Amino acid sequence: MQIRELKIPDSYEVTPKQFGDDRGVFLEWYRFDRLEETIGHPLRLAQGNTSVSKRGVVRGIHFADVPPSQAKYVTATHGAVLDFVIDIRVGSPTFGQWDSVLLDDVDRRAIYIAEGLGHCFVALTDDATVSYLVTSTFNAEREHGIDPLDPAVGLDFGMPADELLLSPKDTAAPSLAEAEASGLLPTWAAARAYYDELNKGA
């Protein structure tokens, strides 16, 4: 298993080693110990989610209040998605920037996204199946969104805008600037303080 930090601090691409033979393939897509070595504390998993999307579906940009927010470990078990991590932590040196990882059923990579970061993906195939391990249960009052088509963020979905399908909730979400102005976004300081707290309790 190879773990590579993305250009957004506190997010990582995970590439598993696959073992194939005439029966098929075996791999470890999640290893708590390897991830703990990287991020400084174990993930205390609270919920597992799965979404199935047709080509062009965009889910996100989603995030939750810090603390506790919700760290995510995400992989695609069928099909392919382009998965984005967006730095929405006000005061971060990479605020407003993003990075992406192709998650598919070929390389079978995963992405780790720390608390306080924004998450979004676009389905590149029909029946794209994404599984998420998360560190807190869903709490609608603490969950928020940013418009994934916000030109100031500039996510590159790799397909024309008229082929994208968003939920009404995501379409109605504020821009990054609007979310910042309203005080909706987490701060770099609050996120760092929470990461330090998690590391001390490791």
pLDDT in tens, 13-22: 999 999 999 9
Active-site choice (12, 62, 119, 195): 62
Q: Report how far apart the first and last C-alpha atoms of the chain are (Å, whole number).
A: 22
Check if the beta carbon of residue 59 is closer than 8 Å to that of residue 82. no
In the predicted model, is pLDDT for residue 68 greater than 80?
A: yes
Q: What is the mean pLDDT of residues 113-130?
A: 98
Q: According to the model, what pLDDT value does residue 201 have?
A: 82
Mean pLDDT of 95-117: 98
Look at residue 47 in the predicted model and tell me its pLDDT: 98
HSE, CB side, 13 Å, CA atoms: give it for residue 185: 26
Is 119 an annotated catalytic residue?
A: no
Catalytic residue among 12, 73, 132, 195: 132
What is the per-residue pLDDT for 135?
Answer: 97
Q: What's the mean per-residue pLDDT of the chain?
A: 97
Compute the distance between CA of residue 138 and CA of residue 140 in angstroms, rounded to an integer: 6
Tell whether domain 2-201 is in CATH 3.90.1300.10: no
Strand-pair partners of 119: 62, 85
pLDDT of residue 6: 98
pLDDT, tens digit, for every residue of 136-195? 999 999 999 999 999 999 999 999 999 999 999 999 999 999 999 999 999 999 999 999
> Would residue 194 show up in a list of annotated catalytic residues for this protein?
no
- Percent of the chain surpassing pLDDT 90: 99
Q: Where are the domains of the chain?
A: 2-201
